[in-house]
Structure formats: C-alpha cells, structure tokens
Amino acid sequence: MSDLIDVPRGLNGVVAAETTISDVDGDAGVYHYRGHSAVELARSRSFEDVWHLLVVGELPDAATRAAFAARVRAAQGEPAWSELIAAVAARTGQPLAALSAVWTLGASARSSSPLYDLDPTARLDDAIAFAAVAPLALAPGVPTGRGVVADYLERVTGASPEDAHVRALSAYLVAAMDHGFNASTFTARVIASTGADMASCLTGALGALTGPLHGGAPARALDGLDRAGDDPAPWIAAELAAGRRLMGFGHAVYRTADPRSELLREVARGLGGDRVTQALAFQEEAERQLAERRPERPLHANVEFYAAVVMEQCGIPRAMFTPTFALARTIGWTAHVLEQARDPKIIRPSARYVGPGYRG
C-alpha cells in the first residue's frame, strides 16, 4: 500500500486523537488536568475532587462535592457488587485478577449496555459505578464513609491509617490518575472507539497496566533499592555495565525531571525514615552515573521510583503497588472512555507488511 505513512516505533510523537482531559509537556516538565496543575491538585485537593474534575469536567464546590460523594457511596452500595466481590475474593488472592473479574461479571449483573447504545448520562453513571467499585474489589471490605483513600488504606494495611499517610497516598493517587495517551489509556480508548461496554474498556486497560514497563514498575524499583543497600554506587555501575535498565528512571515523554517524581520526593521527605534517606542517595548516584554515560540524554527518577517509597512508608505491601496504581488510573480511564465514546470514528491504524512476498 503506497499511501501508508511511516511513523516512529511505539507511535512516539504521533497524535492519535484530541483530548480535553490532560496534557503533558515533556520538554517543560509539567502536566495538567483540564488546565489545572496536576501537582498542585495533588497537594491541595482530595481524590474525590479530582475524580469529579476528570469525569464531570470541573472541580466541585461544597454542595457538588457532597452530592458526588453520595453518588459514589450509592454506586458502591449496589447489591450486585457486594455479592460479586465476596464470590471473587473467595476464589483468587490476586487483586488485579479480582478487579478484572468483578468488572466483567458486574457488567453482566448490571445488564450493562454498549457505550454505543447509551446517552451521555447513562455513560457517566457507568463510569462512576465501575470506578467506585475498584477500591472494594482490590481490597474487599465495607466503606466507612471517611473517603476513598482512607478506607482503602485501612483495608490494605489492616490498621486505622495516620492522617499523614492518608494525605501522602492521596497525593500519589491524584498525581497518577491520568498522564496523556499512555499505553493503558490508549488501550481503553481503542476499545471505547468500537462502542463496547464500559467494563470491556476498563479490563482491556487493566491488562495493559500489568506490564512491567507500565504499571508493574514500582515494586521493581523498590527491589533495586533492596539489592543496592546502603552503598548504591557499585550495584548501579554493575547494572548499567550489564546493559540492564534501572527501574524507576527515565521516561518516554519527559526530557527533564518528572514533576510527579519531584512531588512524591517531597511527600517522601515529609514522611521521613531510613528508606527515604536511602532512596535519596540512590537517586543522586543513579542520575550521576546515567548522566556520565549519556550526557546528551540525562535520565531522571520517574514517578514509579518515589511512588514505591511513599507506598511502602504508608504500609502498603509490595504486592499491592500495581493494584494501587490501577485504582488511581481507573479514574483517568473512565474519563477517556467517556470522551472517546463521543467520537463515532473507530480507531483502526494500518500495519506495514514486511514478511514474505505474496505466493499466489
């Protein structure tokens, strides 16, 4: 096909759609949600406030905030969810598998229709319902009404969380809700472009998120800290000499420091502890060695590096790092699914065939 257009590997730099949800400026090192600095939102706004911003389109006032919280509680209280969560939890100890199963089975229990057949109000109802059940499917339990973050943290850790830990985890979740057309978000939009139901869009996105190069990185970043010990220089040098990647460093978009990493480093410093001291030393040494090897393309700590440190300091076990990332990113996925559903054009790129010639 002579009219095909050559594009970079991984579609880097290719504009696949227009969005009003978020934007990432990798050269300047900033990103925002609907015009609001995502970093400032993480510092000053609740999980629910930013959830409302992404799926409804604006930050809530006091009355709207209360109404939205009631809407989330009502969605979480749907009878079908509790029965499904209990049944799935009894059969799997894998939170992400449980979430995928609850979404899939929930679509059947709720008789969910394809997005193509729903009006905008019904689509928003589905978006809120499927996002609202995510923290319960990942960490089963009964909501107490203190908010999504505090409830989730208590169910994950088994203890009433400190206010500092709730604020720290909330900052991470808000900072991680959305980030341009990353792999899982693009997956959700591709599925949404077919007119499929909300659950199909979300389970597809979740599958993409589980990859080590996407949502599976935080735990691996912490593994590196464990192996490096208190003197990280020799271990880092050996890893780089062997051509292995330092998990938690570098990003496909940012050409400067990752603003999410800088935010979470600030949060980690506030929490304190030996692990934070170790992480700060590791970052300094890793960035020094990376700059020596590639002075033309310095690599910095990305969001996964300090996300791992913050989650550990909050008492979240390593096995729950990726599920916690999924909890945050679910909000962004639903926002993008709603946006994509308004476009009647299916996403259908081409491939350039490079195999054996036609044999007749």
Q: List, by residue number, the catalytic residues.
A: 251, 304
* Token output for 350: 């081409």
* Token output for 123: 């689509």
Amino acid residing at 116: Y
7: Cβ–Cβ under 8 A, 6 or more apart, which residues?
14
How far are the Cα atoms of 57, 71, 127, 130, 275 from residue 112, in angstroms, in the given order? 23, 18, 11, 11, 45
Q: Which phi and psi (to 5°) does residue 263 adopt?
A: -60, -50
Helices 321-341 and 183-192 cross at an angle (nearest 10°) of 40
Residue 193: CB atoms within 10 A of its CB come to: 20
* Token output for 221: 């970043």
Q: In whole angstroms, give the CA distance from residue 267 to residue 189.
A: 32
Q: In whole angstroms, give the CA distance from residue 309 to residue 236.
A: 18
